[in-house]
């Protein structure tokens, strides 16, 4: 049963400028596994912007409760390379409170815009 849907869009250039202007921002928003590919290369600004959009979409699906930690929502590749959403800590607690025990995630970026949609399911 679907509990909620969240969607967010991010302007890639604006997001990239924010990351360049605030060097520690990427560390605050993303785990190491999110910042780098499996081969150890830094992720592109488009990829990071899509991951940020996913985190925002998760927060929206949960009703944007206060106190969520960015690192408690992680978007990493599954064994096949598709983006996979994992939650822990503050985000997992908010999900349990709302009866969410399964997530579906879609990321996209094109034309300078990154987007994400999540479906929260019970």
**Residue 121 marked as a ligand binder:** no
- Which stretches of 1-42 are assigned E, i.e. beta strand? 2-11
Residue of 119, 115, 116 lying closest to 104 (CA atoms): 119
Q: What is the DSSP string of 31-62?
A: -HHHHB-TTSPBPPHHHHHHHHHHHHHHHHHT
Residues 114 and 122: their CA atoms lie apart, in Å, by 27
Binding-site positions read 8, 56
Binding-site positions for Mg(2+) read 8, 56
């Amino acid at each position: 049963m679907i509990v909620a849907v969240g969607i967010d869009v991010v302007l890639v250039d604006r997001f990239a400028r924010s990351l360049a202007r605030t060097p520690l921002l990427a560390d605050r928003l993303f785990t190491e596994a999110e910042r780098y590919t499996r081969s150890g290369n830094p992720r592109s600004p488009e990829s990071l912007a899509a991951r940020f959009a996913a985190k925002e979409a998760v927060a929206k699906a949960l009703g944007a409760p206060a106190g969520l930690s960015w690192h408690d929502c992680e978007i990493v590749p599954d064994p096949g390379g598709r983006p996979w959403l994992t939650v822990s800590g503050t985000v997992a607690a908010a999900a349990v409170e709302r009866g969410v025990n399964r997530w579906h995630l879609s990321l996209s970026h094109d034309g300078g815009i990154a987007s994400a949609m999540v479906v929260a399911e019970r």
